[in-house]
Amino acid sequence: MRDSEFFRSRIPEFVDAERKFFSGEMDAKTYKGISGRFGSYAQRGGELGMIRLRMCGGHMDRDKLSFIIDECRRYGVSRIHTTTCETVQLHNLKGDEIAEIMDRALDHGINTQGGGGDNPRNVSATSLSGVEPGENFDVYPYAKAAETYLLDIMPDVKMPRKLKVTFSSSPRNETHATFRDLGFVSRPDGRFDVWGAGGLGNNPKFGMMLAEGVDPSKVLYYVRAMVDTFMEHGDYENRGRARTRYMRDRLGDELFAKEYGKHLSRLLEQGGMDIHPAPSVFPIKEVKDVSGERIHRQSQEGLYYVEYHPVGGDVPLEMLERIRDAIADADGAEVRVSPDSALYIINLDGAEAVRVRDATEGGARNLFETSVSCIGGTICQQGVRDSSGLLNAMIAAVREAGVGEYLPRFRISGCPSSCGCHQVGIVGLQGASKTVDGQAVPAFKMSINGCGAEGRERMGEEVGTIAQDRIPEMVVTLGKAVRDSGKCFDEWLSSNDIRQVLADYIA
């Protein structure tokens, strides 16, 4: 098993590259190829960079939280962003600062390596796994075992593109396990169904079921079988068509399943990869009944979690500090980063829950304000549009008009790469262009009725393209139409033609 010293010994390669890139000796493409492997990318403009901190299953214990706060204070980090893969990104850093954070992170159980590039990305899991009443079972111990395994083999495997592996503990399918490169979908009988070769982004595709009723102790065989299938059949020539879903397109579903099965059978025959991870441990606390907004009961008696949604996934540093102070004496408390950009502070007794709730005032005020946005084109080099800026403008307009409670959660991506998962939003927006009076203007394509829940997966239907500067007004118009109907948004959408209501914006 590779330890943190192994990963630390690789950092000088990154330092050499970042120094050359930021001093102009290395071109952006070469740098991206190296820095991505270390979980870092240069930001738009090439002056500053970001670092992506892996948080398997979104788990951020008190030590990791303190580490992030201390590093942000040390370097004056001005933007902390959570992602749909449950990582935490620190932005606007200088090259050497990135390397220093990367190094110190290893002392706190945070690895950044493989956070970008053609590597196994952070293994995600339902953020409330283990604590959510009604879930099938706690999938986190298996997610952690998969993350450890993938980090261990990472230096020895060369895949054509990134590989996203996820685990889901309930049909909410928060982590999109039925449409990732590899997804383990929990079942009520304590087993997994295994889905694979799906993904959003360009040419999105739902996954296909590869195995049913898998014994959880066998998950690593299924992980390795996907890695091996990907290395054998993936496209090493054309990066734009290299993700696992394209491999499935090329082979066809039947042959793809057969090839995956071939690797799986070989691995199962070889054996040696069974796992029996220790179950998650939760504190036992005195029962002190409380209730209130943003406070929820865990499946463990007497324990609560508090929900806090930073607007647009950008968490103010002061808020992290308030959370740290509020849980300083709360035995076993930790933060979970969700793929929908919420933070859940878990393992609290009643009094601690009230304290954390009071400390985390100031986040999203309604479902609309929990809308998901990627970091967007002002930071991301690939970005076409400023998704994050758009969401802030939408929220400001909607607050002024007082119609937030009538609107749903939007999902916004700055480009077709779909880091905001717009295709599965009930309303999705994707960065694009539109011709207005003969001029190309910044715009977003709008889709409706997408869904990511297990068994109800649906790609949104595109309804039109709207100039970016008209979107805040368009959202207010939508909110007023729903308000005046007396229905909730979903009911309104099913009985109204949104194209007609928004015709003026879509035209």
Q: Which residues bind ligand SF4 (CB under 6 A)?
A: 374-377, 380, 382-383, 387, 413-415, 417-419
Specify the residue, 81 or 434, whose C-beta has the smaller distance to ligand SF4: 81
Q: From edge to edge, which strands make up the β-sheet containing 49-53?
A: 40-42, 49-53, 88-93, 79-82
Alpha carbons 232 and 90: distance in angstroms, whole number: 35
- Name the one residue in this structure whose structure tokens are 């590597």: 119
Q: What letter represents residue 314's amino acid?
A: D
Instruction: Supply the minimum distance, in Å, between the C-beta of residue 276 and ligand SF4.
Output: 37
Instruction: Supply the minimum distance, in Å, between the C-beta of residue 69 and ligand SF4.
Output: 24
Element (H, E) at 183: strand 182-186
Instruction: Supply the minimum distance, in Å, between the C-beta of residue 32 and ligand SF4.
Output: 12
Instruction: Supply the minimum distance, in Å, between the C-beta of residue 140 and ligand SF4.
Output: 26
Specify the residue, 417 or 496, whose C-beta has the smaller distance to ligand SF4: 417
Instruction: Supply the minimum distance, in Å, between the C-beta of residue 384 and ligand SF4.
Output: 7
Instruction: Supply the minimum distance, in Å, between the C-beta of residue 312 and ligand SF4.
Output: 12
Specify the residue, 51 or 333, whose C-beta has the smaller distance to ligand SF4: 51
Specify the residue, 382 or 433, whose C-beta has the smaller distance to ligand SF4: 382
Specify the residue, 382 or 496, whose C-beta has the smaller distance to ligand SF4: 382
Element (H, E) at 49: strand 49-53
Q: How many whole angstroms from its chain centre is CA 181?
A: 14
Specify the residue, 285 or 411, whose C-beta has the smaller distance to ligand SF4: 411
CA-wise closest residue to 120 among 84, 153, 167? 153
Specify the residue, 79 or 263, whose C-beta has the smaller distance to ligand SF4: 79
Instruction: Supply the minimum distance, in Å, between the C-beta of residue 375 and ligand SF4.
Output: 5
- ∠ CA 172-174-176, nearest 5°, is 105
- Name the one residue in this structure whose structure tokens are 């946005």: 373
Number of other residues whose CB lies within 10 A of the CB of residue 328: 10
Residues 6+ apart with CB under 8 A from 39: 51, 52, 53, 54, 102, 111, 112, 113, 114, 115, 116
